Structures are given as C-alpha cells and as structure tokens.
Chains A and B, each alone.
Chain A
C-alpha cells in the first residue's frame, strides 16, 4: 500500500478500450476517478489487433495490452497457469497492492485473480452481468465463478438484483459483496439546447441487435406502435445478427420512412443520436444494471424499458415506464410514455441525473471496499485450500489441485529468477 492510504491497483479484464461497452466504460471511468483521488491505477487486458504493448491514456492511466489473442467472445484462451509469468512481472514492477478483476465472462480476469491470490495479494471482483442457473453454459460459468470467488477478498455488484444473483451462483457469503451502481458521464451526455417539437414523436433504440438485448421483441413492438400512433417514428442504432430481422420487418410493413436504421453508432456519436429523440426504448431480456438508460435519461429522454434484472433499481418512477418483456405490454408502455411527454423537462431530468449518479461517488465507495479488502488477514495456502475443498465433492478437489500446481509453478518462477540473477 502506498503512503497515506493511497493504493496501487491493477484492473484486469478482457474488456477494455478500444472496445466500447458497459464494462469497458466502467473500468475506464472508475480508473480515472481513482487516479484523481491519488491512487495509482494500471489496467491489464489482452491485445486488440495491432494494439499491443504498453499504452498511456488520459491522466497517465497505464494499460498493458498483453499479446494474448482473444479466443472466443473477446476472452483469451484459458491456460490456467499460462498467464502467471506476465502477471507476476506486472505485479512486481508496478508494485501493485491490490488486484481488481471485472466481469465473470473474462478468462483473463479469473486467471489474474487466481494468480494474485497465489502470490498473496488481496483481490476484489466486480460482476457486471446476470446469469442463469439451468443451462449447460450457465452451470459451467457458475462453477468457474465459484472457484474464483471462493478465495476472493471482496466482491462488488452493480445492483441488488445482481448481488443476489452472484451470491446464489457462486456461494460467496453475502456480507462480502458490496453494491455499487454504475454511473454516467453527465458532462458528455447533455440534453439538446432546445426542446424538440412534439408534432412527431421520435423513439430511439440504441443497443446491440442480439437476442439478449431483445431485438426479437422490437420486431413485434415497432409495427404495432407505428399502427397505433401515426406520428411516431423510430431511430435504431446498433448492429448485430438480429439486424436482418428488423430490416425484414421494415420491408414487410413498409415502414422505410418511419423506421431509420443507422447501423453501428460510434460511442462518441451516441449522444447526438439520443438528443434527436423524445423516448428511449430498451427491450433487453436481462440486464444487471443498464448504463444505456442512464445515458438516455441524462440526455433528457423518457425511458421505456423491460422490467428485468436490475433495471427497476436504476431510475425513479417518473423517469421510466416499465413493462414486462412481452410485445403487447411494451406497446402499452410506449403509449403511456407518449402521454407523459408533455410533463418531461429534459434539463430538469439532466440535473437530477447529475445528482443521482457520479463516477466520483462510485470511486469513493470502491475505495472503501479496497480499504476493507486490504485490512483482511493474510491466509496460508492450507487455509485457502480448505475453501476450495468446500466447492464440491469433485470440483473442490480439482480446484485444490489447480491451486497447488499454480503455487508450485509460482515457486518455480521465483527460483528461476533467483538463478537467472546469479
């Protein structure tokens, strides 16, 4: 730990700039605010194309783009102990005091937390997503999460729903999990200087066009809303495998002049798309938090969203209309939102969002979690192995074996460096 309570934190995740998303934004903004608080923050992620090596971002945020290629879904190939040498090198040369991993889908995060615990560092894990329990993928992912969190010092979730989900999936004690919501950069997401005329209502949709984000729901909802409200038009930003379905819907119902599809929208242009609309429509089937509706509310849009996951915790009732993930319910919700529009003042909404959500507040709360993590007592290998044994009859033994091999490999690396320095 540095002087006067300042820490040296290593953020690890497969998801970072130049990708744009909720996790990436979270890591970036949190890191920037922690730097402003006087801590040192280093980010470790995998290489993105030619972006490999060390890069420095705003305010000297150092990013290690380790040349491990992504394997599937932007995550690197799981190698168990393969990342130990580079991880150890970074931890030593940057004099890290605490490791903070992000996202359960990130292989690099899981391996980094495992190596950090092997080397005796305190670790904090932030879960950004909700996950199921019944399908094969969920079962395996939950087991991996159980392995990582069995020995994690503290954990952070972005909503109370997410905390409940994480505790149930991983078996981590609830008292070790903190809820720190995401925030929004209100300086970037400001409403338009002048209010839009309401002779034509514009509904904006910006999301990845995938199943999980409810693109299939949009296919059902949009034609019905257009039928019921002749003065409504849609602007859809984003790309994905479900884009074809939306374009087919547009062709089928002859909505070319009322449904505009922008394709992938760069993050820097999201605000300009949002301020061209009155209502923001979110049709996600699962969301731990949903930063997108925060950005829309910060731009002064009234939000219509599915009542899933942590979405009900995000905005006050007068800023959001919730509906079940069902086409007819969503059409009714859009109708209700249209009637609420005259009472909405974008500037007032923006000022409220400024007070409700702030990355500086997130950083201060995260700092408290770090301090509590660092106060936890150190544990020997035997004590830590007993936690892994509790993970299951067979899984527990397998986890113990993995940790023992990892520990031996770490000892070998230390011995190797001693020999190399002779």
Chain B
C-alpha cells in the first residue's frame, strides 16, 4: 500500500492506496492529534487545587466547607478540560474506503470512533472499481464499543447540512436523507475539517450538487479542497488554489464555528 501523509498542529492526513486484501482500495484518514498543552493545564490546575485543599485542611480554624468546595470546583474543572469527543483512545480516525461491491470493510483496521464515508464510483477512479457502499460507524465514547451501519449508496437521496441553534451556541451538522425513511441519518453532529472533506466527496460524486452559499462563503476550503501532492505544506492541504486569504484563515485556527468538541453520534444497528 502506498502512503502519503500531511500533518499540521491539529490534524494528520494520511492517504493510502493499494490492494487489500485483493481489491483496490483508496483510504483517506484524518487523525486528530492529542493536545499535550491542554492535559498539562488540567493536571497543573488539579495539583494547585489539591494543594489548596490540603493546606486548608491542615490549617487550624478552617471549616470543612472550604476544602470541600475546592475539591468540587477542582473536579469540575478537570472534567471539563479533559472532556474530548472520545474518552477511549488517543486518536479519532475517519476513513474513506473505496471498496468493491460484496467486499466487507476492514473492520479491524479502523479504530473505534467516528463515521466513515465511502465514496461511490466517480470518474477519477479507475475502471476496476465497480461500485461502492456508504458506511457509518457511530461509536459510543464511554464504552469504546463500535457500532457500524452499512448503507447502500443507492439509498441515499441527499446529504444535508443542518445549521443548528441552541440557547448558547450554533453549529453545523451533516445528515443524510434516506429513501423510504422518515428520519434523517445523522452523520456528524458537530462538523470539523475532516467532515467537510466527507461532504466534498459527496459533492464530487454528484450527490450534493450544491453547497449552501453561506457555507461556501464561510468555508472556502470546502469549495476548493483537493488532495495535495506529497511535500505540500500542511496549511495548504485544503486550499491549494484558493489564494492568500484562505491560507491566512487556516493558518493557526479553524473557522470559528468549527468546534473540536464532542461528537455525539447516533445509535444505529449493525447491519451487514
């Protein structure tokens, strides 16, 4: 299998092509990097609060409520700062698999998180790829158990970008409209840059013929995202042709509404 990778401070993109086990596959992985600084801040805060609790206990004349308060606040702070989209495992992996009809996915190769989108036949692929299946694999963060759902590409009517509003925030989510089903299938509750790549794949295969103007103006990378040749700079990985403006946008942080917080994925039955 041939492998190319591009990395920046937050993500590692790995592209593998080749034959496995006997069919041709084209795999794209986006791996979120673990943040050492965040863990360091959380540990330091915990240590400070523990010391405060200790000294308040040791000190004379102090009531019991003060150290209890320290413990509660400290615990909450540490829990919030350690809260990531998955508790188990150090990385989140989203892979796009190109497989031939009838071939099962390499389940043991993929990690236990996230959803997977398999692209259908597109003109850029060679002729030996005859068909594709779309696979979604929601995971339960607390248990680490993986549940995968196979959805034939023919069943997908349209992908949908939902703009969700809560009393305190807004976010984008990606869902699919399926034939003969009343409910949308949630793919990603909170979109991140890797999920935009998913949507781009759908656009490429013609499933999403239009991207909302709001989205395309706010996320120029979506319009011009391409797989860059080896050796490209990480910050250019999504916006090769988009000009200086977009490079600056992606320089050190994602567009503001791309949250890196949790993705609560739908429960789904495992279907072969």
A residues within 8 Å of B by Cβ? 52-54, 60, 62, 64-68, 85-86, 89-90, 92-93, 419-422
Report yes or no: A93 in contact with B41, Cβ–Cβ below 8 A.
no
Beta-carbon contact of B260 and A67 below 8 Å: no
**Would B257 and A419 count as touching, CB distance under 8 A?**
no
Task: Answer yes or no: B125 CB below 8 A from chain A CBs.
Answer: no
CA distance A60 to B214 in the complex (A): 10
Contact B37 A422 (CB under 8 A): yes
Choice from A90, A419, A421, A422 contacting B170 with Cβ under 8 Å: A90
Given contacts A93-B256, A421-B253, contact A85 B170 (CB under 8 A): no
Residues of A within 8 A of B170 (CB): 54, 64, 86, 89-90, 93
Interface pair A62/B214, CB less than 8 Å apart: yes
Are B169 and A89 in contact (CB-based, < 8 A)?
A: yes
List 5 tightest A-B contacts by C-beta distance, closest first.
A422-B38, A85-B168, A54-B163, A93-B257, A92-B256
A228 CA / B81 CA spacing, docked (Å): 79
6 new A-B contacts, CB < 8 A, other than A60-B213, A89-B169, A93-B256, are: A53-B165, A62-B214, A68-B167, A86-B165, A86-B167, A92-B257
Q: List 24 A-B contacts (CB under 8 A).
A: A53-B164, A53-B165, A62-B214, A64-B165, A65-B165, A66-B165, A67-B167, A68-B167, A85-B168, A85-B169, A86-B166, A89-B169, A89-B257, A92-B256, A92-B257, A93-B170, A93-B257, A419-B41, A420-B260, A420-B261, A421-B260, A422-B35, A422-B37, A422-B38
Residues of A within 8 A of B37 (CB): 422
> Which residues B240-272 have CB closer than 8 A to chain A?
253-254, 256-257, 259-261
Is A93 in contact with B166, judged by CB distance below 8 angstroms?
A: no
CB distance from B17 to the nearest CB of A (A): 32
Q: Which residue of A lies closest to B81 (CB)?
A: A419
Is B154 positioned at the interface, with any CB of A under 8 Å from its CB?
A: no
Q: Which of B165, B218, B256, B261 contacts A54 (CB 8 A)?
A: B165
Q: Which of A86, A89, A421 has the most CB of B within 10 A?
A: A421
Give the residues in chain B near A92, CB-CB below 8 Å: 256-257
Q: How far is the CB of B133 from chain A (nearest CB, A)?
A: 32
* Complex: A421 Cα to B168 Cα, angstroms: 17
Task: Count contacts on B: residues with CB < 8 A to the other chain.
Answer: 23
B23-61, CB under 8 A of A: which get 1 and which 0? Answer: 000000000000101100100000000000000000000
Interface of A is mostly: mixed
- The residue that B163 contacts in the complex, of A53, A60, A67, with Cβ under 8 A, is A53
Return chain A residues, CB-CB under 8 Å to B261: 420
Roughly how many angstroms separate A52 CA and B163 CA in the complex, as a whole number?
11
Instruction: Report Cα–Cα, A351/B256, bound state, in Å.
Output: 50
Beta-carbon nearest neighbor of A66 in chain B: B165
| Chain B, 140-178, CB within 8 A of any chain A CB | 163-170
Expressed in whole angstroms, the Cα–Cα distance for A422 and B81 within the complex equals 10
A89 to B168, CA, bound (A): 8
Q: How far is the CA of A62 from the CA of B213 in the complex (A)?
A: 12
Complex Cα–Cα for A68 and B170 (A): 14
Specify the chain B residue showing the minimal Cβ separation from A65.
B165
A243–B254 alpha-carbon span in the complex (Å): 57
Residues of chain B with a CB closer than 8 A to A60's CB: 213
Shortest C-beta distance, A124 to chain B (Å), equals 23
CB distance from A49 to the nearest CB of B (A): 15
Q: Which residues of B contact A419 (CB under 8 A)?
A: 38, 41, 81
**A86 to B170 alpha-carbon distance, docked (Å):** 7
User: Which residues of the other chain, A, contact B218 by a CB distance below 8 angstroms?
Assistant: 93
Residues of B contacting A420 in the complex (Cβ-Cβ under 8 angstroms): 259-261
| A67–B165 touching, CB < 8 Å | yes
Docked pose: A90 CA to B166 CA in angstroms: 11
- Please indicate the chain B residues that have their CB under 8 angstroms from the CB of A53 in the complex: 163-165
Residue of A nearest to B255 (CB): A93
Inside 8 A of A89's CB, which chain B residues have their CB? Answer: 168-170, 257
Complex CA distance for A54 and B164, rounded to whole angstroms? 7
Shortest beta-carbon distance from B232 to chain A in Å: 24
Contacts of B257 in A (CB 8 A): 89, 92-93
Q: In the complex the two chains form, what is the Cα distance from A160 to B38 in whole Å?
A: 57
* Complex Cα–Cα for A137 and B42 (A): 49
Report Cα–Cα, A92/B163, bound state, in Å.
15
A64 CA to B41 CA in the complex, in Å?
Answer: 36
For residue A113, give the distance in angstroms from its CB to the closest CB of chain B: 19
CB proximity of A291 to chain B, nearest CB, Å: 30
Q: How far is the CA of A187 from the CA of B257 in the complex (A)?
A: 40
Query: Counting chain A CB atoms within 10 Å of each CB, which of B164, B167, B214, B253 scores highest?
Result: B167
Chain B: minimal CB distance from A52 (Å): 7
Select the residue from B256, B260, B261 with max chain A CB neighbours within 10 A. Answer: B256
Name B163-202 residues within 8 Å CB distance of A.
Answer: 163-170
State the Cβ distance, A419 to closest chain B Cβ, in Å. 7
- Distance in angstroms from B220 CB to nearest chain A CB is 13
Expressed in whole angstroms, the Cα–Cα distance for A419 and B41 within the complex equals 9
Task: Name A92's closest neighbour in chain B (CB-CB).
Answer: B256
List chain A residues, Cβ under 8 A from B254: 421
A8: shortest Cβ distance to chain B, in Å? 11
